Amino acid sequence: MTKREDRLKQLEQRKRYEPAEAEARVWGRWEEARAFHPEPEGDPAENFSIAVPPPNVTGELHIGHALNASIQDVCARVARMRGRNTKWIYGTDHAGIATQVKVEQQLVDEGTSREEIGREAFAERVWQWREQYGSRITEQFRRLGASLDIEDERFTMDEQYAKAVAHVFVALYEKGLVYRDNYMVNWDPGTRSAISDLEVEQRRVEDTLYSIDYPLESGAGSVTVATVRPETMLADTAIAVNPDDERYTRLVGEAATLPLVGRRLPIIADPHVDPEFGTGALKITPGHDPNDFEIGRRHGLEEVNVIGEDGLMSAAAGERFAGMSAEDARREVVAALREGDSVSGTRPYEHDVPHSHRSGRRIEPLISLQWFCDVGRLAGPAIDAVRDGTVRFHPERPWTGVYLDWMENIRPWCISRQLWWGHQLPVWYRGEERYVGVDPPEGEGWERDPDVLDTWFSSGLWPFATLGWPERTDQLRAFYPTDVLSTARDIIYLWVARMIMFGIEFTGSVPFSDVNIHSVIQAPDGRRMSKSLGTGIDPIQEIDEHGADALRFGLLAMSSTQDVRFSAQRVQQGRDLANKLWNASRLVLLGVDPEATADPAAAETVEDRWIVSRLERLTESTSGLLEGFELSRATLELYDSFWSELCDWYLELAKPRLYSGDNAAVSAVLLHALERSLALLHPAMPFVTEEIWSYLPGERGLLALASWPEADRGRIDDDAEGRVGRLIEAVTELRRYRDEVGAKASVPIPVRVEAHGYEELDGQLARLARLELAADGGDPVAEVRVPGGAVSILPSEAFDPEEARQRIAARRAKLEGEIERLERKLANERFTQRAPAEVVQAERDKLAEYRAALDAARA
């Protein structure tokens, strides 16, 4: 037995596609060939590169990662097949807060804490954690078939990467774009760190709104203010009213006395105050409220801090309250005010309150000494790049607008974090001296700033820092700028915008030209998919059950431009398609002439020309859809064409010739159709297509490295498409007739074809519709309209004539209804006069067709 015969025997025995077994083997072949590891040759214009959004090192692949990986893999595989030197940049993110929290939890479980073991030991623990779990996500990407350059893995805390981060910080500092300032920040009591505006989320909260009377200094009564946070009154430094509020005009310039504290509070006028709210008088607490902070700076007010970074009341709160938690202080302050009879009212009050996205704790606005990045000055070129199309969002609407709106109103970014895991600031202090530099300062006595950078600061450098920037490496020269970035919408501001800003600022070019924003996949019941809710779906489990190709197909098919619910049926559809591909391939490969090779030019019949033509159209359309990132449409169209056209029609049409002695031509066409289908489906379903590819005759390399088909318009054949199209319609009509009149499946019906256009196809018509062609045979008992005429049904025992009569009556009724509708439409002068001539003509043609059909149905 030759090797080839052995392979075919194997194929014959494998009646089902078993993904688990095939996938491991196929991955091995790719890896052995180092198919996804490019050499840094050529230039970015001819090469293709795409940087994966780096997952958290300690994380696991979730369904969103799986979708995004499928999308990026389609892009990478198509580019690779097009012969472009393709690099899909791989790596993970140190994910400051998220990782630190996990490791801290581990320490707590061991009965210790990060404070106890110290900063250095803590960092070591995190690195250990990474060693332990860092490879898990890589393995998961493998299972999915993602053609990442896994050999060349990066990590945002790598030494080289850290150097890039420090370099950027220092450069921005030297330009004055990074600075240290005492400013109001979002303090997260949970992580005990400042966080940026983007890490804050609003939550609906039930509070109590207290009305408090502040006596006027003049002794002439009091001013009543409203607050949900009475404990902050201890830090009040003014009372503000609206300048147009006539009730208070007289009081502006006077002062009130702060109860419990005795501080003198000037009464000031500021347009921020809404006269409609409460009494129209607002207590101003510049130290603990972002609005009041702004008002305070406008009016040069004193900034008092009564709540510390530990969440406890500070000494400035006074002896009575110092050391209490803010919550305790609230109760005590209210009690004290009540003693003084200063509380004039309370009412329940529901409003939005900022919370930490990370810890879930209520944000404590504080004035704190932090580092900021003046992104406003980096935004200009990043806005222009999107405006002029250098960077394009897909879909363009609404994301271009979303991006631009945010960028145009961008505010300073607080970049320092009071954490231990992350890029420590390259800043040192010695007394009043400050040193900022990539390398540590010379000399004794320098102390390094303990803060680390916001994780998104380092992520913002991802597309170029992964390639070795700021060194001018071969990788950078070959693959930067990258081509595509794909992500969900939730990190457009956090990540995408910052990459564009940093990319332009530091490399002089945008980091990518196309940004694909994909769906967010929700749980099947419409809730958010999340581990804590128990609504998550594990992609690896899906792969175990249905295969990677099935999951990939399902995800690509279900995603679109809007959020979608996870659809198990789509995954199943993918599994079915993989199996269908497998079995259709068995039919072809086991039946084909052993000497044959794929050749569309071998087409000898109209149906051969038809499938060749259809495949060219499919090729053209698939390429177009993929270029426009319409992956869902592309995937579903491929499914439909392969299943309905190639399998349901062409394979059935080809069978008689395939099984005849003279099957050389049909073999060549079948192999062509199979090769073309495998190539087009490979980016979406790489495993099964690669597996089948290995069974094709002849010496051939990997499908992953084969060339992407280019549509040949010269092979598009309108005549063949028209004729086979009519054949399909006729067969369907006749099958429906058979079914309706209850003809037994196994008994052919005698007929006489009285239609033109079936010259080379009447044999196929008879076979597929199970007819017996007769030249004569007496008077027909019925007629079935088919394109180009009718098929007369001759008397036989194949069905019940009464059934047939009823069917004809029903058909006549339907046709009469249609005719009436069209007649009415065409009698309407406003339609015939105003509608375009071709539309009117089309309606007339349709009417004529229906009338002819009705006429024929009289038989």
Partner RNA sequence: GGGCGGUUAGCUCAGCUGGUAGAGCGCCUGCCUUACAAGCAGGAGGUCGCUGGUUCGAGCCCAGCACCGCCCACCA
Question: In the window 547-606, what residues touch RNA (CB under 7 A)?
Answer: 558, 560-565, 567, 569-570, 572-573, 575-576, 578-580, 583-584, 586-587, 590
We find the least distance from the C-beta atom of residue 561 to RNA, in angstroms, to be: 6
We find the least distance from the C-beta atom of residue 306 to RNA, in angstroms, to be: 15
Query: Which is nearer to RNA, 406 or 435 (by Cβ)?
Result: 406
Chain centre distance of CA 85? 25
Bond preceding residue 426 cis, omega within 30 of 0: no
Is residue 368 classed as helix, strand or coil in its secondary structure? strand
Strands 416-417 and 452-453: antiparallel
We find the least distance from the C-beta atom of residue 730 to RNA, in angstroms, to be: 11
- CA-CA distance, 12 to 583, in Å (whole number)? 10
What would the two tokens of residue 330 be? 């609230």
Sheet arrangement for strand 48-51: 153-155, 86-92, 48-51, 484-488, 514-518, 392-394
| Of positions 83, 445, 526, 778, contacts RNA by CB under 7 A | 526
| Of positions 238, 260, 273, 684, contacts RNA by CB under 7 A | 273
Query: Which is nearer to RNA, 129 or 831 (by Cβ)?
Result: 831
**Buried residues in 758-779 as b, exposed as e (16+ CB within 10 A):** beebbebbbbbbbbebeeeeee
- CA-CA distance, 170 to 173, in Å (whole number)? 5
State which of positions 734-753 bind RNA (CB under 7 A): 735-736, 739-740, 745
We find the least distance from the C-beta atom of residue 736 to RNA, in angstroms, to be: 4
We find the least distance from the C-beta atom of residue 651 to RNA, in angstroms, to be: 4
Q: How many CB atoms lie within 10 A of CB 444?
A: 6
At 706, give phi and psi (nearest 5°). -75, 175
| Of positions 633, 672, 676, 785, contacts RNA by CB under 7 A | 633
- CA-CA distance, 308 to 698, in Å (whole number)? 76
Query: Which is nearer to RNA, 182 or 828 (by Cβ)?
Result: 828
Q: How many CB atoms lie within 10 A of CB 207?
A: 14
| Of positions 640, 802, 803, 816, contacts RNA by CB under 7 A | 640
We find the least distance from the C-beta atom of residue 364 to RNA, in angstroms, to be: 14
We find the least distance from the C-beta atom of residue 41 to RNA, in angstroms, to be: 39
Query: Which is nearer to RNA, 18 or 797 (by Cβ)?
Result: 18
Query: Which is nearer to RNA, 380 or 526 (by Cβ)?
Result: 526
| Of positions 170, 322, 402, 781, contacts RNA by CB under 7 A | 402
Contact present, 613 and 551 (Cβ < 8 Å): no
What would the two tokens of residue 227 be? 């607050």
Query: Which is nearer to RNA, 290 or 748 (by Cβ)?
Result: 290
| Of positions 53, 64, 266, 280, contacts RNA by CB under 7 A | 280
837 binds RNA (CB under 7 A): no
Residues paired with 448 in a beta bridge: 428
Query: Which is nearer to RNA, 418 or 832 (by Cβ)?
Result: 832
| Of positions 831, 852, 854, 856, contacts RNA by CB under 7 A | 831
Query: Which is nearer to RNA, 45 or 827 (by Cβ)?
Result: 827
What would the two tokens of residue 655 be? 């069978």
Contact present, 487 and 367 (Cβ < 8 Å): no
We find the least distance from the C-beta atom of residue 338 to RNA, in angstroms, to be: 18
Stretch of 133-141, 276-284, 299-307, 693-701 contacting RNA, by CB under 7 A: 276-284
Query: Which is nearer to RNA, 18 or 39 (by Cβ)?
Result: 18
Q: How many CB atoms lie within 10 A of CB 739?
A: 12
Stretch of 39-47, 472-480, 674-682, 834-842 contacting RNA, by CB under 7 A: 834-842
| Of positions 278, 311, 381, 725, contacts RNA by CB under 7 A | 278
- CA-CA distance, 457 to 265, in Å (whole number)? 41
We find the least distance from the C-beta atom of residue 592 to RNA, in angstroms, to be: 12
Q: Look at the block and give the residue holding tokens 């199996």.
A: 579
Query: Which is nearer to RNA, 472 or 830 (by Cβ)?
Result: 830
Strands 264-269 and 416-417: unpaired
Identify the CA nearest to 213 among candidates 197, 230, 195.
230
Chain centre distance of CA 199? 20
- CA-CA distance, 288 to 331, in Å (whole number)? 18
Secondary element (H or E) of residue 355:
strand 343-356
- CA-CA distance, 696 to 702, in Å (whole number)? 11
Binding mask 355-394 for RNA (x = CB under 7 A): ----------------------------------------
We find the least distance from the C-beta atom of residue 801 to RNA, in angstroms, to be: 19
- CA-CA distance, 128 to 136, in Å (whole number)? 14
We find the least distance from the C-beta atom of residue 846 to RNA, in angstroms, to be: 7
What would the two tokens of residue 536 be? 């998550």
State which of positions 463-502 bind RNA (CB under 7 A): 490, 493
785 binds RNA (CB under 7 A): no
State which of positions 717-736 bind RNA (CB under 7 A): 731-732, 735-736
- 698, burial (CB in 10 Å: exposed 0-12, middle 13-18, buried 19+): exposed
Contact present, 163 and 458 (Cβ < 8 Å): no
Query: Which is nearer to RNA, 270 or 690 (by Cβ)?
Result: 270
Stretch of 254-262, 334-342, 642-650, 715-723 contacting RNA, by CB under 7 A: 642-650
Alpha helices in 239-282 (DSSP H): none
| Of positions 127, 406, 435, 446, contacts RNA by CB under 7 A | 406
Q: Work out the end-to-end distance of the chain between its first and last CA atoms, rounded to an integer number of angstroms.
A: 61
At 498, give phi and psi (nearest 5°). -70, -35
What would the two tokens of residue 482 be? 């990258």
Contact present, 186 and 197 (Cβ < 8 Å): yes
Query: Which is nearer to RNA, 294 or 328 (by Cβ)?
Result: 294
How many helices (H) does the chain have, and how many strands (E)? 28, 28
Number of amino acids touching RNA (CB under 7 A): 89
- CA-CA distance, 123 to 360, in Å (whole number)? 25
16 binds RNA (CB under 7 A): yes
Query: Which is nearer to RNA, 267 or 427 (by Cβ)?
Result: 267
We find the least distance from the C-beta atom of residue 724 to RNA, in angstroms, to be: 14
| Of positions 120, 246, 276, 432, contacts RNA by CB under 7 A | 276
Query: Which is nearer to RNA, 17 or 469 (by Cβ)?
Result: 17
We find the least distance from the C-beta atom of residue 260 to RNA, in angstroms, to be: 17
Binding mask 407-426 for RNA (x = CB under 7 A): --------------------
Query: Which is nearer to RNA, 102 or 355 (by Cβ)?
Result: 355
| Of positions 20, 220, 747, 842, contacts RNA by CB under 7 A | 842
Contact present, 382 and 501 (Cβ < 8 Å): yes
Binding mask 284-323 for RNA (x = CB under 7 A): -----xxx--x-----------------------------
Tell me the angle at which helices 606-627 and 664-681 cross, rounded to the nearest 10 degrees: 10
State which of positions 182-241 bind RNA (CB under 7 A): 197-198, 201-202, 225-229
